[in-house]
Structure 1
Amino acid sequence: MRQGITEEQSRLLASWLGEFSVVQDCSWPLQDTNVLHVATPAGEGFIVKASTTSHHIRREIAAHSGGFEGLRGRVPALRHASAEAGILVTEFLPGTLVEGTPAEEDPETYRQAGALLARIHRPAGDSSTYATALTAKTRAWMDRAHGLLPEPQLDSFERELDALRPRVVQLVATHGDYQPRNWLQDNGQIKVIDFGRADLRPWVHDLVRLSHQRFVDRPDLADAFHAGLGKTVAPAETDLWRLENLNQAIGTVVWAHQMGDTVFEQTGRTMVKRVLSGF
């Protein structure tokens, strides 16, 4: 078994799957989660995710426990899980990652992705504390960004936060990292994987990364996505949209620097500039 899989996790896998072989190690170098594509002698394929330290395992289990009614075959189906042991098993979902393929430039990909997200966004009630808590988290990122970003930018962040007026927020079940690296294309059909960053948030959270990456200079992709999703950011949501952008921009810089991911850190710096320029 792969290094990093504990004896308890190995025991659970054996009890759940019986005999199996590792087809591919899909783990990300900078992540603390083991991700394995495995297969049984009967030809069944599964994705195994295991970690003793990552909170993403619990998030993914929770996302699946909430249910994906009507989406079987479009999102992975959970087969086995233990939050205590930090391991889960989903059915293998066939397809090719959209990122880096011609499908990443095709508006139809984004129309389907938007339509899927609309179905993933299950209503989860209102929160009078979400925006206040996110503001506090953003300020915490700012405290850690001294020396990483110019002080004038941090001063601008402070003014932006002060100008926002938190209010009651409608929560939904968000994906948390909704972009082409987590979409599959299978004979023209788009599928969604990796719910390790899923949580209850406002729907606009899932729009931020796309808006700063794939939608830049590609209004056709943005239009297709919103057509599938069935909505755009409303005037009443402007402050919340602004807050989500501020949080994810500065959070990207600090987190990527901490992880030593210089490319992603630069992505965050670009996000910061775009947000403060009036995006």
Structure 2
Amino acid sequence: MHQGITEDQSRLLTSWLGEFSVVQDYSWPLQDTNVLHVATLPGEEFIVKASTTSHHIHREIAAHAGGFAGLHGRVPALRHASAKAGMLVMEFLPGVLVEGTMAEDDPETYRQAGELLARIHRPAGDSSTYAPALTAKTRAWMDRADGLLPESQLDSFEQELDALRPGVARLVATHGDYQPRNWLQDNGQIKVIDFGRAEPRPWVHDLVRLSHQQFVHRPELADAFREGLGKTVGRAELDVWRLENLNQAIGTVVWANQVGDTAFEQAGREMVERVLSGL
């Protein structure tokens, strides 16, 4: 079996699928999850995710357990899963990753992606603890950013956090990493993959990455996305929107530095500057 998948996982996978072959390995070296495209003798194709340490497997299983009503063919269908074994099997979703293709610059891609996100965002209740917990996580990132960011920026972060009053957060089922690297384009139709960071959060969480990447200097893409999503950040969400931006900006710097991803760390530094400048 593939290196990184345990013997127990291999036996379980065989019990689920029977005889199969690996078509392609999509595993990312900076993550501790094996991601394999496999094919079975009856001609079916699947994506297998397996890990003995990653919490992303458990999040993805939970996301699928919540259901994706009306989205068959637009998100992967879960076929088998074992949280105990740290493994899941999803039906293979045909398409080409949007990132790095012409579709990444096409407003129609973002209109469809916004429309899909609106359907993924199932209500998940209100929380009085979400914002305080995220504030605490942001302060923890700040402690780890000492020496990575100028003291002036860390001081500004502290002032920003002190000024926020996000209150009770209205949660939805978020994707957690909503951007073109997790979208597929299949004959003009956009699909969504990888729910390994899914979790109940405010809906604005899923807009942060796009706002600091594809939407920078591309208002037409942002407008198309908002058209599909059917809403934009309003006055009621401003403080939690600010908090999400602060958290993801400084978290990107620290995490990327930790794993040695220089390009991503620089992107995090640019996020910090953009957030603190009020853009």
Q: TM-score, normalised by structure 2?
A: 0.99
**Cα deviation code 1:63-96 (max 9, x no counterpart):** 0000000101000000000001100000000000
How far apart are 1:239 and its partner, in Å?
0.5
**CA distance, structure 2, for counterparts of residue 41 and residue 86 of structure 1:** 24
Uncovered stretches (5+) of structure 2, i.e. residues with no partner:
none
**CA distance, structure 2, for counterparts of residue 8 and residue 201 of structure 1:** 34
Find the counterpart in structure 1 of residue 72 from structure 2: 72
Find the counterpart in structure 1 of residue 94 from structure 2: 94
**CA distance, structure 2, for counterparts of residue 233 and residue 200 of structure 1:** 18
Letter in 2 for 1:237: E
> Pairwise mapping of residues 70-149 of structure 1 onto structure 2 (< 5 A)?
70-149=70-149
Find the counterpart in structure 2 of residue 242 from structure 1: 242
* SS of residue paired to 1:81: strand
Find the counterpart in structure 1 of residue 216 from structure 2: 216
Letter in 2 for 1:106: D
**CA distance, structure 2, for counterparts of residue 208 and residue 216 of structure 1:** 11
How far apart are 1:166 and its partner, in Å?
2.9
Find the counterpart in structure 2 of residue 182 from structure 1: 182
How far apart are 1:184 and its partner, in Å?
0.1
Runs of 4+ aligned residues of structure 1 deviating over 6 Å after TM superposition are none
**CA distance, structure 2, for counterparts of residue 59 and residue 152 of structure 1:** 36
Number of equivalenced pairs:
279
Letter in 2 for 1:248: Q
Find the counterpart in structure 1 of residue 254 from structure 2: 254
How far apart are 1:2 and its partner, in Å?
1.1
Q: Does 1:24 align with 2:12?
A: no
Uncovered stretches (5+) of structure 1, i.e. residues with no partner:
none
**Cα deviation code 1:135-173 (max 9, x no counterpart):** 000000000000000010000000000000130110000
Find the counterpart in structure 2 of residue 59 from structure 1: 59
Letter in 2 for 1:110: Y
How far apart are 1:236 and its partner, in Å?
1.2
How far apart are 1:42 and its partner, in Å?
1.3
**CA distance, structure 1, for counterparts of residue 92 and residue 200 of structure 2:** 25
Letter in 1 for 2:85: A
* SS of residue paired to 1:208: helix
Identity across the alignment (%): 85
* SS of residue paired to 1:99: coil
Find the counterpart in structure 2 of residue 38 from structure 1: 38
* SS of residue paired to 2:48: strand
* SS of residue paired to 1:161: helix
Q: TM-score, normalised by structure 1?
A: 0.99
Letter in 1 for 2:90: T
Q: CA RMSD in A?
A: 0.4
**CA distance, structure 2, for counterparts of residue 277 and residue 63 of structure 1:** 35
Find the counterpart in structure 1 of residue 49 from structure 2: 49
